[in-house]
Structure 1
Amino acid sequence: MLDTHARRLFQPLFDTMAYALGRRGIGPAAVTLSAALLGGLAAGALALGWPVLFLALLWLSGLLDAVDGTLARQGGLTSRAGAMLDIVCDRAVEALVIVAFGLRFPEARLELLVLCAAIILSLTVFLTAAAALPASVGKSFHYQAGLAERSEGFLFFSLMAVWPSGVPEVALVFALVVLFTAGQRLRSALGFFRD
Structure 2
Amino acid sequence: MFDARLRPLIDPPLARLATPLVRRGITATQVTLAGFALGALACLAIALGAFWIGLVLIALNRLADGLDGAIARQTERTDRGGYLDIVLDFFFYGGVPLAFALADPASNALAGSVLLASFYANGSAFLAFAIMAEKRGLSTDAQGQKSLFYLTGIAEGAETIALFGLMCVFPAAFPALAWGFAAVCFVSAGARAVLSARLLS
Bin of the TM-score, shorter chain as denominator length: over 0.9
- 1:80-132 deviations in Å (ceiling 9; x for gaps): 21111001111111222122101112111011101111111111111110000
Query: Partners of 2:172 and 2:49 in 1: how far apart?
Result: 14
Aligned residues: 193
- 1:28-84 deviations in Å (ceiling 9; x for gaps): 000111110110111111112111111111011001101211211111x11221111
Does residue 40 (structure 1) correspond to residue 35 (structure 2)? The answer is no
Structure 1 residue ranges (4+ consecutive) displaced by more than 3 angstroms after TM superposition: none
Does residue 145 (structure 1) correspond to residue 145 (structure 2)? The answer is no
Query: Partners of 2:62 and 2:123 in 1: how far apart?
Result: 19
Structure 1 residue aligned with 2:139:
135
Residue 150 of structure 2: SS of its match in structure 1? coil
In the alignment, residue 197 of structure 2 is paired with which amino acid?
Answer: L
Query: Partners of 1:173 and 1:155 in 2: how far apart?
Result: 13
Does residue 193 (structure 1) correspond to residue 200 (structure 2)? The answer is yes
Deviation at residue 4 of structure 1 after TM alignment:
1.6
Deviation at residue 25 of structure 1 after TM alignment:
0.3
In the alignment, residue 102 of structure 2 is paired with which amino acid?
Answer: L
In the alignment, residue 99 of structure 1 is paired with which amino acid?
Answer: L
1:69-108 to structure 2, matched below 5 A, reads 69-75=69-75, 77-106=76-105, 107-108=107-108
Query: Partners of 2:170 and 2:72 in 1: how far apart?
Result: 37
Residue 6 of structure 1: SS of its match in structure 2? helix
Structure 2 residue aligned with 1:155:
162
TM-score normalised by length of structure 1: 0.94
In the alignment, residue 115 of structure 2 is paired with which amino acid?
Answer: L
In the alignment, residue 108 of structure 2 is paired with which amino acid?
Answer: A
Farther-moved stretch of structure 1 (182-191 vs 163-172)? 182-191
Query: Partners of 2:154 and 2:63 in 1: how far apart?
Result: 20
TM-score normalised by length of structure 2: 0.91
Deviation at residue 185 of structure 1 after TM alignment:
1.5
Query: Partners of 1:110 and 1:38 in 2: how far apart?
Result: 26
- 1:120-179 deviations in Å (ceiling 9; x for gaps): 111111111000012323222111121211121111111112222211111011111111
**Aligned residues: CA RMSD:** 1.2
Deviation at residue 189 of structure 1 after TM alignment:
1.3
In the alignment, residue 119 of structure 2 is paired with which amino acid?
Answer: I
Structure 1 gap ranges (5+): none
Query: Partners of 2:8 and 2:190 in 1: how far apart?
Result: 26
Structure 2 gap ranges (5+): none
Residue 152 of structure 2: SS of its match in structure 1? coil
Query: Partners of 2:117 and 2:127 in 1: how far apart?
Result: 15
Does residue 20 (structure 1) correspond to residue 11 (structure 2)? The answer is no
Farther-moved stretch of structure 1 (180-189 vs 57-66)? 180-189
In the alignment, residue 182 of structure 1 is paired with which amino acid?
Answer: A
Residue 146 of structure 2: SS of its match in structure 1? coil
In the alignment, residue 86 of structure 1 is paired with which amino acid?
Answer: D
